[in-house]
Amino acid sequence: MSTATRPPQTADLAQARLLAGLLEAELRELQRALDHRWRVDEAGNEDDPQLPEPLRRHRQQLSEVRRLLAALHSRFPALTDLTGVHTKVS
């Protein structure tokens, strides 16, 4: 049975809980920095192809953290129950 299909063990859930906490902290930090840069640069529409490269990279990092959190919550649904957070990919 692969690790993707077997039920999560207690140690797996504990590790997932730690990783989720780290990812959620990273998500908050990235969002804070992005909000600050967005105001400072006044880049306008976020879909604008003229969006400065540092902002585009920052948004990609933010998307990747959200994707990882969503995958973690998908694999360990109990995390959503414990944290009250379920991150969707945007």
pTM over 0.75: no
Within-domain flag for 5? no
Domain boundaries, position 27? 12-40+48-83
What per-residue confidence (pLDDT) applies to 3?
A: 56
How many domains does the chain fold into? 1
What per-residue confidence (pLDDT) applies to 58?
A: 84
Each of the 90 residues of the chain gets a pLDDT tens digit; together they read 455 566 778 899 999 999 999 999 999 998 888 887 766 555 455 555 667 788 888 888 999 999 999 999 998 888 876 545 544 444
* Secondary structure, 3-state, the chain: CCCCCCCCCHHHHHHHHHHHHHHHHHHHHHHHHHHHHHHHHCCCCCCCCCCCHHHHHHHHHHHHHHHHHHHHHHHCHHHHHHHCCCCCCC
Within-domain flag for 54? yes
Within-domain flag for 53? yes
User: What distance lies between CA 25 and its chain's CA centroid?
Assistant: 9
Within-domain flag for 67? yes
